[in-house]
Structure 1
Amino acid sequence: MVNRRRFLTLSSLAGLLPSLSFSSAKSVSNTDGLNSEIVTSESMNLPASGPIVISTWKQPKANAAAQAALDRGGSALDAVEAGVRVPEADPEDMSVGYGGRPDRDGHVTLDACIMDEKGNAGSVTFLEHIMHPISVARAVMEKTPHVMLSGEGALAFALSQGFKKENLLTKKAEKEWREWLKTAKYKPIANIERHDTIGMLAIDAKGNISGACTTSGLAYKMRGRVGDSPIIGAGLFVDNEIGGACATGLGELVMRTCGAFLVVELMRQGRTPQEACEEAAMRIIKKQDYKDIQVGFLAINKKGEYGAYSIQPGFNYTLSQNKVTHVTDAKSYLK
């Protein structure tokens, strides 16, 4: 398995098509740690294949947690929250949550957003000391009149909701950071930053779509930097009539193109998820020296069709469907 963070330069996201054959496929058992609620909203066209979970990168454990939420009658929103909480709590995953690489000053700062089938959204940016920013983002969505909280305000809100303040900088991440300090060369390009994100999309038994995205951001970024992951329309967008999309890679480029929103709008115009992801990537490629950058898009529509595409090779994605989970390499512009 390629290191997910290093994909920012010469490896990243996935290219998916229902017709593609799977490689590195394996089944995983369901695991879960969240209570879920059954959403009472009316269903809209459940795909013939049934509920689906799809996520960026090799994330069988995350998908298993999401699938478990669906199996017990939970909503797509429950599923994506449960799913991305898994890498958030994994100290070996150094691009998300606990164990994430710090900024250039040694602080682990987290970004996350979540969006449901009704168009509701919640987001947190520049959040410190909280292991599960995705759950704080959901609380922002459900318990405040706002979409996004940031920094000290986001932390104060999280603590008010009962989230525990913790030290997220592991010894391993601190050691790497201190090694980086010896040169401290800051260049926001893929190979140096060694960063990535988990984005997850799900369709539940009612045919509803939700999505989530969470990250610790670029390794050794400037303090206060926020990427695309917590921004609705950039790192994540869901329209329950059409589908959902998420992005990964160098967030500045995704923000400049409103990447996830673009993918969904292209699907609205009749593009397949694969075609939409490819076009979104091309919008960046046409304007950018793309040889040393990585961006990828992942999408699913109401029919349960999915697609993904990246600039550089090396990205894979995880699909859970009909009780089977597959990890598959994606298509890319560069070979």
Structure 2
Amino acid sequence: PWNQFVREQMAGDALGADAATGFLVAGPYDIVKSPDINLSLAQREDELADMVNTTGTAFLGLTMGCARCHNHKFDPILQKDYFAMQAVFAGVTHGERSWHPKPDPGKAPMLAELRKTLAGTEGRLEELRAKASAPAPAGEGASALRPPVNHRMNVEEFPPVAATAVRFTITASTGAEPCVDEVEIYDEAGNNVALASAGAVAEVSGTLPGYEAHKQEHINDGRTGNERSWISNTAGSGWVKISFPSAVRIHRIVWSRDRTEQFPDRLPTAYRFEVMTPPAGGPVISSRETGETSSAPAAAWAVVASSETRQPFAGGKTDPNAVLSRLSGPQAD
């Protein structure tokens, strides 16, 4: 029925219908949030205006937007009618919710085949990663270094090491406070153990205040993009520490400024990754002569990757021969 269709289009998430329920919030939306309250209020008015205008056009066939500033010149809509309708949508806000599509049994064979193909591709990718991250041969100079950092994705490979925490220290960036949208840390089984959902805990040196899009918890929430990122509160520097529930053997770290490639600014260009190695273990030892006790050596930080092994950042330009020579070895021309 038409009335049910309209209700589900406009309020499906409240009615338990997942399909097409982004209708009202599909327009412009301020994801950054200005610290200026007046600007924030103006942006909210624009969001509500989009809801009113789109609803009027879609379901009434009228251009209601004109009545935002004055009585409509042609259609029978007064300015007070516009704001009366705006009041209907005043409680509608943007938020996050899970989508639960109905499973399609017919797609099961296709999904199984895709997973098989993906597994093979991942295996080949692991081989290429190992070659690309191999130590640079002596005497080859800058051409043997890894490519410079980029804002989309950076991979740090190193021999497997047991760790209870990882620290990402940034000492320079392309300007202002550095920004990171996600830090992923992989164990030998290919699991991202940095995820908050896996029990990992993120700490940071400080966060630029006043922005909903840039928070500490975004650093390991499994979501990427500028709108789910962290920005340090110090120009050109900052650090992120991710602690694991228990010691785990890790061998790869993936990090990015903006995985969606929309924002290249605030890119960390000088950095190091350190791992906290677990204590050597063993019981507390007591000295018979003095009665004093001593324990096993304390845990310590050890550098596993840094920008020192990369080409200097030069505005995002990369020497393609540097990557080719690492992957192809002596066969590269």
TM-score, normalised on structure 1?
0.24
Ranked by relative contact order (alpha carbons within 8 Å, sequence separation 6 or more), the top structure is: 1
Structure of greater Rg: 2
Q: Which has the higher helix share?
A: 2
Q: TM-score with structure 2 length normalisation?
A: 0.24
